[in-house]
Structure 1
Amino acid sequence: MDLRQLRHFVAVAELRSFTAAAGELHMSQPALSQSVARLEKELGCALLHRNKQNPGQGVLLTVAGETLLEEGRDLIAAAQRAEERTRRAGRTSSGVSLAMGFTSGTPQHLVAAALAAADGIDGVDVYPVELDWGHEHQAIVTGRADLAYLQYAEGTPVAGHTVTGLELLERVALVPTNHRLAHRGRVTLADLAGEAILDPGSAEGVPGYRDLWLGEPRPAGMPIGRIVGPPARTVQEMYSFVAAGRGMAIASKAVADQFQRDDVVALVVPDLASVEVGVARLVEDRRPPVRQVFDALSRLSRL
């Protein structure tokens, strides 16, 4: 069994379709079918069954297939981490180079703190890598980042990661300057009831991440309004959508402080709990430099 075959199988298993998987992998369906068949022959067991009775439900996984899907995802992620870490190691002539993941919503002083942390550790260099919102923990799994700053509902566990909470950030509502509430410095969820809100995306984020930026759950009688897509990919896109009147957005006060525009105002929402920002690494990552930087940043916790 090689990684190429494993990736082929995982694509089919996740999409439940040879046709869809072939399109995602940019290969022909017959070639994909042959690859999965060879894998089944090597393992000596069936992994998939075509659902002839109900084709609309796609292919079905056998018990062996379910097992390989779970194990295969871990193997593919481990291979990606090894590839990314090896490439980083090849870019430095001496010492260890670590990637610190952050997003445009990360408080800037924390990014600076990560760089400063490496200054006190011999032979270790840290460089920042900007990540997509809501995918920070996935970047650690794939190896794109060795550590990363995450934002999550206070106290939320992140499976497979060791996380130290560093500080709490207020959440604010972003509205255009011509909005009926724009003149107020603070608003309540009752004030925002029924307001259209930008889709925060990131359904694959840490548990509760999407609800965090929708302001969910909300009390009875204070319903969320229409969720407006597509999700903004950057802070600049989010502000542009808000300014254009597509909908309000919920962000951390750090975002509002770091990105200010004349056509958007930030209103504190005191009945929304603060968001926690923390530093994370993989539980299984035993490399001393990673742990040294993680411990140095953990000591900055204000919680």
Structure 2
Amino acid sequence: MNVRRLRHFVAVAETLHFGKAAERLHMTQPPLSQSIIALERELGSALFLRTKRSVALTPFAEQWLEPVRAALDAVNALPDIAGRIRRGETGRLSLSFVSTADYSLLPALVHRFRALYPTVDLALTEATSDVQIAALRRKESHAGIVIPPAHTALPDELAYRQVMTEPLIAAVPESWLDSGRLKLADGQLTPEAVIESPLIVFPRHVAPAFYELVTDYYVACGGQAHIAQHAIQMQTIISLVSAGMGIALVPESLRNLARTGTRYVALHSRAPLLETGIVWRRDDRSPMLANLLDVIGAAENGVFPQ
């Protein structure tokens, strides 16, 4: 249906005067009359009751006027909507993340991005790094916050940017400290105490980079990790620590996860650094993704400007 004719109909309906409507539309009256006649033919129904002295809406036109106004409002909004889509200010952006990011950069990133782009639907999904990378290759996600592989390169079609690094610390059962089973030196956990304590850690196949970072630290301390339990969620690991099943080496940002029965302490020996970054498809030209990368690019080691 011709949008121009719809505008003509609304102008006449609002003025109930062909001359005034033509003036509003910056046209002459004869073409306006012809446009209305053509619209009536298209609809198969009269729109106006005309006399020499007055113009009135037909019952059909009275019911049709509001839907036409709504349709024209939607048409008028299309240029603005197109601009917001082009600028990445609207739409749905899918972002996945590893559980460790939930206590470090993710909350600040989400807060900052939503403050800048409030009409973007930011869809968040927690997943391990390997699951995220596979989903990106299948084009099921726009970007992922991952722990990068330690000894293997990412697939060529994916791009990666480091966002932050943080040292590992020890999550230890508070009961072990109170009973003297675990002793600290200057408030820190010694390499000997690390080696002697049973370990709770992610399974290797779920988080190989993190697993190797932890187990390599045991080797650097002169021993081997005695793994008491595997768990695939960081919250579960901390719960098992609080239950006294063992210790866990976790990112320093996990201090933000307070749990009764668990205490966080620094490592006495040089702590390994955990790297976290963002990965995305090189061929993804989404403006929303570009905006997300700009927000992340403005951060300094996971701290975002306000």
Q: CA deviation at 1:227?
A: 1.5
Matches within 5 A, 1:156-167: 157-160=153-156, 161-167=158-164
Residues 200 and 214, structure 1, Cα contact 8 Å, conserved in 2 = no
Q: CA deviation at 1:153?
A: 7.7
TM-score (norm 2): 0.57
Partner residue of 1:148 out of 144, 151, 155: 144
Instruction: Count residues in correspondence.
Output: 206
Q: Give me the whole-angstrom Cα distance separating, in 1, the residues matched to 2:135 and 2:107.
A: 16
Question: Aligned residue for 1:137?
Answer: 133
Q: Give me the whole-angstrom Cα distance separating, in 2, the residues matched to 1:109 and 1:264.
A: 22
Q: CA deviation at 1:182?
A: 5.7
Q: CA deviation at 1:238?
A: 0.8
Change in 2 beyond 3 A, CA 1:258/1:302: closer
TM-score (norm 1): 0.57
Partner residue of 1:168 out of 158, 165, 169: 165
Q: Give me the whole-angstrom Cα distance separating, in 2, the residues matched to 1:156 and 1:275.
A: 16
Change in 2 beyond 3 A, CA 1:196/1:104: same
Change in 2 beyond 3 A, CA 1:236/1:96: same
Q: CA deviation at 1:176?
A: 0.7
Secondary structure in structure 2 of the residue aligned to 1:169:
strand
Gaps of 5+ in 1: 1-93
Whether 1:260 and 2:262 are equivalent positions in the alignment is no
Matches within 5 A, 1:171-182: 171-179=168-176, 180-181=181-182
Q: Which structure has the highest helix share of the two?
A: 2
Secondary structure in structure 1 of the residue aligned to 2:144:
strand
Whether 1:111 and 2:110 are equivalent positions in the alignment is no
Question: Aligned residue for 1:200?
Answer: 202
Residues 171 and 250, structure 1, Cα contact 8 Å, conserved in 2 = yes
Change in 2 beyond 3 A, CA 1:297/1:283: same
Question: Aligned residue for 2:64?
Answer: none
Residues 218 and 225, structure 2, Cα contact 8 Å, conserved in 1 = no
Question: Aligned residue for 1:242?
Answer: 241
Give the residue type in structure 1 aligned to 2:235: Q
Residues 151 and 277, structure 1, Cα contact 8 Å, conserved in 2 = yes
Q: CA deviation at 1:142?
A: 4.2
Secondary structure in structure 1 of the residue aligned to 2:134:
helix
Secondary structure in structure 1 of the residue aligned to 2:189:
coil
Give the residue type in structure 2 aligned to 1:146: H
Percentage identity across aligned positions?
Answer: 17
Question: Aligned residue for 1:210?
Answer: 211
RMSD: 3.2
Residues 159 and 280, structure 2, Cα contact 8 Å, conserved in 1 = yes
Question: Aligned residue for 1:47?
Answer: none
Give the residue type in structure 2 aligned to 1:226: H
Question: Aligned residue for 1:79?
Answer: none
Q: Give me the whole-angstrom Cα distance separating, in 2, the residues matched to 1:267 and 1:155.
A: 29
Residues 168 and 277, structure 1, Cα contact 8 Å, conserved in 2 = yes
Residues 96 and 125, structure 2, Cα contact 8 Å, conserved in 1 = yes
Residues 196 and 226, structure 1, Cα contact 8 Å, conserved in 2 = yes
Q: Give me the whole-angstrom Cα distance separating, in 1, the residues matched to 2:93 and 2:144.
A: 11
Q: CA deviation at 1:261?
A: 1.7
Residues 206 and 232, structure 2, Cα contact 8 Å, conserved in 1 = no
CA-to-aligned-CA distance 1:191-237 (integer Å, 9 cap, x gap): 3124221241142546x332123344623x721232123x2132332
Q: Give me the whole-angstrom Cα distance separating, in 1, the residues matched to 2:118 and 2:136.
A: 23
Give the residue type in structure 2 aligned to 1:264: T
